[in-house]
Amino acid sequence: MGWEEVQVRGDAEFVRTAQSYHGRPIFALFCGDKDAEGRSWCPDCVTAEPIVRKELHNLPDESVFIYCLVGDRAYWKDPNNEFRKNLKLTGVPTLLKYGTPQKLVEEECFKAELVRMLFTED
């Protein structure tokens, strides 16, 4: 079995989903919400998403890729939002391997090499 993608919105749904896949490698990409035309308010997320998606085929078997929308811009800018508090996220986009200290933040997500390293190496 290869890998599968799940799309969620908000911190509560994210945590529930991650917990339901406990035992499998879980990778997550956090991006700002998208408008009706499908464009995110976060320009870095717009740049990073296609780069990350291009590397998804490198995910190890059994992996789960959670694509998580964090909320609108105002919500994200609030220093006390749930993502900052609970998941310690410092910026969007953030790509991380759940349950480990391994993550890529903002411009680091633009580098295909680094994304590949996150997906394929221990």
Partner 1 sequence: SVQAHKEEDNPQKTMEVNGLMPVPDSYDYDLIIIGGGSGGLAAAKEAAKYGKKVMVMDFVTPTPQGNSWGLGGTCVNVGCIPKKLMHQAALLGQTLQDSRKFGWEFTEEVKHNWMTMTESIQNYIGSLNWGYRVALRDKKVTYENAYGEFVGPHTVKATNKKGTEKLYTAERFIIATGERPRYLGIPGDKEYCISSDDLFSLPYCPGKTLVVGASYVALECAGFLAGLGLDVTVMVRSILLRGFDQDMANRIGEYMKEHGVHFIRKFVPIKVEQVEEGTPGLLKVTAKSTTGNQIIEGEYNTVLLAIGRNPCTRKIGLDKVGVNINETTGKIPVNDEEQTNVPYIYAVGDILQDKLELTPVAIQAGKLLVQRLYAGSTTKCDYVNVPTTVFTPLEYGACGYSEETAVEKFGEENIEVYHSYFWPLEWTVPSRDNNKCYAKIICNIQDNERVIGFHVLGPNAGEVTQGFAAAIKCGLTKKQLDSTIGIHPVCAEV
8 contacts partner 1 (rule: CB under 8 A): no
CB 86, min distance to partner 1, A = 15
Q: What does the chain come to in residues?
A: 122
Of the residues 31, 45, 68, 109, only one is catalytic, namely: 45
Of 10 and 91, the one with the shorter C-beta distance to partner 1 is: 91
Kindly tell me the sign of the dihedral angle through the C-alpha atoms of 109, 50, 74, 68.
negative
- 30, 83 contact by CB (below 8 A): yes
* Strand partners of residue 27: 65, 97
Q: Is 42 a catalytic residue?
A: yes
Could you give the angle at the alpha carbon of 97 between the alpha carbons of 114 and 87, nearest 5°? 120
Binding mask 85-114 for partner 1 (x = CB under 8 A): ---------------xxxxx---x--x-xx
Just list the catalytic residues: 42, 45
Positions that interact with partner 1 (CB under 8 A): 100-104, 108, 111, 113-114, 117, 121
